[in-house]
Amino acid sequence: MTSLDDLPIRDDLRGLSPYGAPHLHLPVELNVNENTHPIPEDVARDIIEAIARELLTVNRYPDREFTALRDSLAGYLGEGLSRENIWAANGSNEVLQQIMQAFGGPGRSVLGFPPTYSMHSIIAASTGTAWIAGQRDADYLISPATAVEWIERTKPDIVFFCAPNNPTGTGLGLDTIVAAYDAFDGVVVVDEAYAEFMPSGRPSALTLLEGRPRLIVSRTMSKAFAFAGARLGYLAADPAVTDALRLVRLPYHLSALTQAAAVAALAHAPEMLAMVDDIKAQRDRIVTVLTELGYTPWPSEANFVLFGGVDDPEWLWQQLLDRGIIIRNLGIPGHLRVSAGTAAETTAFLDAMRELTVDRMAS
Ligand SMILES: *Cc1c(COP(=O)(O)O)cnc(C)c1O
């Protein structure tokens, strides 16, 4: 049988691993930070009708400029943004890839701050952009001084922040973003996939866009919006940034059906986001109970919790799996990450943790 090594693949891809969250179907799936609540049925009906209408003209290419969708996304974000500021693609991963294609590439580099979203370095690799791993301060924070020091030392073309950060849940001060922006002439990307889960009143990097044409804020409908399967990510930036992305996107990259589904879903934004407060409550409950059980959960501004104090993450992950519960082992020593699910799913996880922790202490 032919193996990957036998193929004349690009040298810089040899030996790399693909994105690898195990994709298993179990009663309780809390491993990839989805919104585990299904979308409301009346909204689903509206979305189906919108898709059905679009299907009648699916012999034609879709609106290449996805104008209606950009209007809807601008309306959803507010902050004085309009369609010229908005770009979208099939998931924010594709948005990030297009950014890296336009502003990175061979001979260029991107600075990120691990532990962070694994796709940032994977997309860097696939676009031939050198990945520079910066270091965070204590408690996974990034101070303005730390960001500036790394930028001055490594001279990247792009800086990637993730706020709130996956997998730690850590927030990021706007002062750090501003300091990074002012420290070089490159592009600053803030991945705000979890923005809707931030504490209320916490400002988004969207508020910094005015007058900063090299700042890009990426968002997704995959998490809070309960739309992961539909694949819709987007960004807000200066209109010149979207012009840059038009140079690298494939023509008609957003299917007419995706556009129709997303526009219909955005028309029901309050209903789609109705479960966010409940998810935040479940997240806080996870932190409380895991602390009682003797673990060390990190404070989270997203819909998941990274917790330490795990003697044997592999063992605990497998024990949970054997009980029909999947969470995430990211290879951070002594740590696992769990997504906040419905009340019932969260209870199942916490009950299993209680049982396993007692077992472990008894043995
Ligand atoms: C889940 C996640 C995304 C979402 O990717 P999509 O392609 O939009 O589903 C983006 N960034 C981070 C940090 C994430 O955790």
Domains, the chain, ordered by start: 4-38+270-362 (3.90.1150.10), 41-268 (3.40.640.10)
Q: Which of 185, 137, 193 is nearest to 162 (CA)?
A: 193
Residues 300-354 have pLDDT tens digits of: 999 999 999 999 999 999 999 999 999 999 999 999 999 999 999 999 999 999 9
DSSP string for 154-210:
H--SEEEEESSPTTT-----HHHHHHHHHH-SSEEEEE-TTGGGSPTTPPPGGGG-T
**117 pocket-lining for ligand 1 (C-beta < 6 Å):** yes
Pocket perturbation via mutation, ligand 1, pick of 36, 166, 305 by most ligand atoms within 8 A of CB: 166
324: CA distance to ligand 1 center in Å? 25
Q: What is the pLDDT of residue 362?
A: 61
The residue whose C-alpha atom lies closest to atom 2 belonging to ligand 1 is 193
Alpha-carbon distance of 55 to 82, in angstroms, equals 28
Residue 47 DSSP SS3: helix
Atom of ligand 1 nearest to the CA of 233: 8
Q: Which of 293, 276, 259 is nearest to 195 (CA)?
A: 276
223: CA distance to ligand 1 center in Å? 8
Pocket perturbation via mutation, ligand 1, pick of 123, 140, 170, 223 by most ligand atoms within 8 A of CB: 223
Atom of ligand 1 nearest to the CA of 32: 1
Per-residue tokens: 156:
């990247």
Over its length of 363 residues, how does the chain's per-residue pLDDT go in tens digits?
Answer: 888 889 999 999 998 888 877 788 999 999 999 999 999 999 999 999 999 999 999 999 999 999 999 999 999 999 999 999 999 999 999 999 999 999 999 999 999 999 999 999 999 999 999 999 999 999 999 999 999 999 999 999 999 999 999 999 999 999 999 999 999 999 999 999 999 999 999 999 999 999 999 999 999 999 999 999 999 999 999 999 999 999 999 999 999 999 999 999 999 999 999 999 999 999 999 999 999 999 999 999 999 999 999 999 999 999 999 999 999 999 999 999 999 999 999 999 999 999 999 766 665
Helix H or strand E encompassing 263: helix 256-266
Q: Over the range 152-189, which residues count as b (16 or more CB within 10 Å of their CB) and which as e? A: eeeebbbbbbbbbbbbbbbbbbbebbbbbbebbebbbb
Residue 160 backbone dihedrals phi, psi, to 5 degrees: -105, 125
Atom of ligand 1 nearest to the CA of 232: 8
Alpha-carbon distance of 279 to 298, in angstroms, equals 17
DSSP 129: P
Q: Over the range 232-266, which residues count as b (16 or more CB within 10 Å of their CB) and which as e? A: bbbbbbbeebbebbeeebeeeebbbbbbbbbbbbb
309: CA distance to ligand 1 center in Å? 27
Alpha-carbon distance of 176 to 278, in angstroms, equals 30
Q: What is the side-by-side strand order in the sheet with 304-308?
A: 296-297, 304-308, 336-339
Pocket perturbation via mutation, ligand 1, pick of 32, 87, 116, 117 by most ligand atoms within 8 A of CB: 117
**168 pocket-lining for ligand 1 (C-beta < 6 Å):** no
Alpha-carbon distance of 318 to 325, in angstroms, equals 9
**258 pocket-lining for ligand 1 (C-beta < 6 Å):** no
**36 pocket-lining for ligand 1 (C-beta < 6 Å):** no
